[in-house]
Amino acid sequence: MSLLGRDLALDLGGASTRIYIRGKGIVLDEPSVIVRDLRTGKVIGYGADAAGGTGGETCWPVSGGLPVDGELARRMIRHFIRKVHWHPFSRPRMVMALPDDSTPIERKALREVAYDADARGIVMIPHALAAALGAGLAVKDCAGHMVIDIGRDSTRIAVLSGESVVATTTVPGGGHAMDRAIVRLVESEYGLLIDEGEAESAKLRAGTEWKPLDRHVTVHGHDPETGRERSVPLPVQGIYEATRQPVEAIVRAAVETVERCPAELTADLGERGAVLVGGGALLRGLGRRLRAELCMPVRRSERPLESLALGLGRCMENLGLTAKLRRR
Ligand SMILES: Nc1ncnc2c1ncn2[C@@H]1O[C@H](COP(=O)(O)OP(=O)(O)OP(=O)(O)O)[C@@H](O)[C@H]1O
Ligand SMILES: [Mg+2]
């Protein structure tokens, strides 16, 4: 490690924070969560130590790549950095993603949080570029590429050509909206109240590959009529149906994004299609549904959960590219 400390890439996700270190790859992947004592408000756990409930108040201080609670976000980032970058004298330089549709005030807030969390220097890479690089797209190529990042609270759609971001759209709603849709379905169809964690677990247990939808996953919840706990077998088809509305919002936004592009890029997109990144990309049947609705090839990146961190890591490893991107 140099005297000035290591460089690291930080994917500050609403669901998970990932840190990539030069020469090592992804060294930290933990939930972006903090638990506070209900009575005193004191932080009692961060990340993996906090997930699973320690009885306090659970806070998610980041959403859509931006801090929603600056102080908690700062403390969480500092905690994660110290876990992977302990150095007696120095602070790391950090490469981070700049949310595409963020306002100058939001960007300033993100920078401030990162500096206050111990960064020595910060390089911001447009989110779309980092996601595309992490998905293995040849971004230098002048042909059009589309990347759709389905995270926890938002979905970011972008068309790129020749290292430039041509069009972007951010849709409020990602994996968390799908969980809420499952909660509503279980309540209306089965009269059972389940929490969002249980809905997410059912979604994950439904698997990631498209297969005939004949399986069931069991969900546990509270029956308000009897006041008792109860389980029901939820058909995987139900999860597919429940997530129809959030998926439709993504499709509409993707179609509008393509419509804003020059005609020659639209033709490229019809041929090359879109690549999906982010955890939401793992939703069973999603690729198939998007392919049918967008009428273009749609594929999932190899490591969707890690794509953004890998793209940021690539920018960091290749400082020439970083300097170039920085001028944009
Ligand atoms: N196998 C799966 N099937 C369906 N959804 C999944 C699966 N695995 C993860 N997810 C969902 O992906 C979401 C998290 O994705 P990801 O880790 O990319 O988000 P993030 O990068 O932390 O958030 P953001 O990009 O919005 O800031 C969660 O809502 C989670 O439920
Ligand atoms: Mg993300």
Task: Return the ligand 1 atom nearest residue 65 CA.
Answer: 27
Give the separation between CA 137 and CA 160, rounded to whole angstroms.
10
According to the CATH classification, is domain 138-173+244-305 in 3.40.30.10? no
CB atoms within 10 A of CB 69: 16
| Structural contact between residues 230 and 192, judged by C-beta atoms closer than 8 angstroms | yes
pLDDT at 3 over 50: no
Residue whose Cα lies nearest atom 4 of ligand 1: it is 283
The per-residue pLDDT for range 104-152, each reduced to its tens digit, is 999 999 999 999 998 888 999 999 999 999 999 988 888 889 999 999 9
d(CA 147, CA 211): 25
282 Cβ closer than 6 Å to some ligand 1 atom: yes
Q: Ligand 1 test: best mutation among 11, 101, 282, 301, most atoms within 8 Å of CB?
A: 282
pLDDT of residue 321: 52
Inform me whether the pLDDT recorded for 187 exceeds 90: yes
Residue 173 in contact with ligand 1 by CB distance below 6 A? no
Distance from the CA of 139 to the center of ligand 1, in angstroms? 24
From the CB of 287, is ligand 1 less than 6 Å away?
no
The domain made up of 7-129+307-326 has a fold known as: Nucleotidyltransferase; domain 5 (3.30.420)
Cα-Cα-Cα-Cα dihedral of 42, 48, 51, 54, to 10°? -50
Q: Please tell me the distance between residue 178's alpha carbon and the centre of ligand 1 in angstroms.
A: 10
Q: What value does the mean pLDDT take over residues 257-266?
A: 90
Question: What number is the average pLDDT over the span 316-323?
Answer: 67
Cα–Cα distance, 54 to 49 (Å, whole number): 9
8 Å CB contact between 194 and 188? no
| Mean pLDDT for the chain overall | 90
Question: Half-sphere exposure of residue 310, counting CA atoms within 13 Å on the CB side?
Answer: 16
> Is any atom of ligand 1 closer than 6 Å to the C-beta of 99?
no
Give domain 175-242's CATH number out of 1.20.120.80, 3.90.640.10, 3.40.50.1820, 3.40.50.300: 3.90.640.10
The Cα 183–Cα 191 span in angstroms is 10
Q: Hey, which of 62-76, 209-223, 312-326 has the most confident mean pLDDT? A: 62-76
Best probe residue, ligand 1, of 195, 303, 305 (max atoms within 8 Å of C-beta): 305
In residues, how long is the chain? Answer: 328
Higher-scoring residue by pLDDT: 166, 328: 166
- In short, whether 153's Cβ falls inside 6 Å of ligand 1 is yes
Mean pLDDT lowest for which of 49-53, 129-133, 225-229, 258-262? Answer: 49-53
Q: Is 90 in the pocket of ligand 1 (CB under 6 A)?
A: no
- Where in the sequence of the chain do the CATH 3.30.420.40 domains occur? 7-129+307-326, 138-173+244-305
d(CA 81, CA 273): 37
pTM of the model: 0.93
Q: Which one of 34-38, 82-86, 300-304 scores highest in mean pLDDT?
A: 300-304
**Residue 97, ligand 1, Cβ within 6 A:** no
Ligand 1 atom with least separation from CA of 62: 27
Question: Could you read off the pLDDT of 146-167 as tens digits, one per residue?
Answer: 999 999 999 999 999 988 899 9
The answer, yes or no, to whether any atom of ligand 1 lies below 6 A from the CB of 29, is no
